[in-house]
Amino acid sequence: MTIFDPYIQKIAEYVGALRSQGRRIRTCQSPLHSERLPIRVGPGANPGIILRGDTSVELGNPEVGSCSFLLLTDSPSTLNDGQITLAGPDIPESVGGSLPFGQVLMLGGSQLTEKDFETLQQIQFVGDQIEGYMMRGLSQSTWSRISTAGVARGLNFDLLGQALMAIYRAASPKLESMEIVFVTSGKGDLVPLNGWSGQIQKIAREIVRQNWKIKGYDIDCLSDCSNCKDKSVCDEIKEVLLEKKLHEHAAGELQNE
């Protein structure tokens, strides 16, 4: 699956350009296992909503801008496995503030195909799986809150990246490498990412549409189902389509008898 490889190269060039423009760029390497982390990771790790009064840092509020997307490659060696790059201020130095937020997740695995894309795309909407982190996910943006308690436990972008890697590695045995880029340096620095995101979403939407078509559904949708306001309608449509398919199958069996 090489369709996203040109964008992976663009991200590497983008980080290099930010560095040449004087942006503060930091990198770290992620531990492989979530049990080494000082925060809980996994279903139920963040048991409730983070209220405004409990929020230490806000990421990606629409007023300051955000952008988020995922890239896959079947050439895992093209990624710097475990590397987390941050362009801009970190969470502990931004307490009480609201940061623009760019997030690029790059996943590699020699056995990854288009059929894996939809599942991996949905995993990025982590829900309650990271202690001290609450995410409001949209298909092309990430609006999140970091709790005061989370910051006290050491939650920063290195740790957030490690948690995301742990979640992905637990969810996909095909995953061989993963690299993450976070951007908080300014709304203007998100402009290139948003431009590529539009192109990537078109590709992603077609992949998802083809996957659903293989299953027998002609549905054009790419969103986080858990946060979609049309989920009940979509579920009803899928149920009707399934009933229709089963009815047609049964009718065909009767004709063959």
Residue 92 has a pLDDT of: 96
Q: What is the pTM of this model?
A: 0.81
Angle at 157 between CA 151 and CA 160, to 5 degrees: 80
CB-CB contact of 31 with 123 (8 Å): no
The H-assigned helical ranges of 105-190 are 114-123, 148-152, 157-171
What are the per-10-residue average pLDDT scores of the chain (257 residues)?
A: 88 97 94 73 89 95 94 95 97 96 96 88 88 78 92 95 94 94 97 93 79 63 52 53 54 54
Angle at 58 between CA 49 and CA 17, to 5 degrees: 140
Parse the chain into domains and list their residue ranges.
5-214, 225-256
- Six-digit token pair at 247? 């009815």
Sheet arrangement for strand 101-108: 25-29, 83-87, 177-183, 101-108, 66-73
Give, in order, the Cα–Cα distances in Å from 81 to each of 32, 78, 114, 179: 10, 9, 21, 6
CATH dotted code for 5-214? 3.30.1650.10
Residue 50 has a pLDDT of: 92
Residue 28: partners with Cβ closer than 8 Å, 6 or more residues away: 83, 84, 158, 161
Q: Rounded distance, CA 175 to CA 108, Å?
A: 6
- Six-digit token pair at 46? 């963040």
Per DSSP, the residues of the chain read --TTHHHHHHHHHHHHHHHHTT--EEEEE--S-GGGSSS-BSTTSS-S---GGGEEEEE--TTT-EEEEEEEES-GGGS-TTEEEEES--SGGGTT-EE-EEEEEEEE-TT--HHHHHHHHHHTS-TT-BTTEEEEEETTEEEEEEEHHHHHTT--HHHHHHHHHHHHHHH-TT--EEEEEEE-S-GGGGHHHHHHHHHHHHHHHHHHHHHHHHTT------S-GGG-TTHHHHHHHHHHHHHHHHHHHHHHHHHH-
Residue 14 has a pLDDT of: 98
Let me know how long the chain is: 257
Q: For residue 83, how many other CB atoms are within 10 A of its CB? A: 18
DSSP tag of 98: E
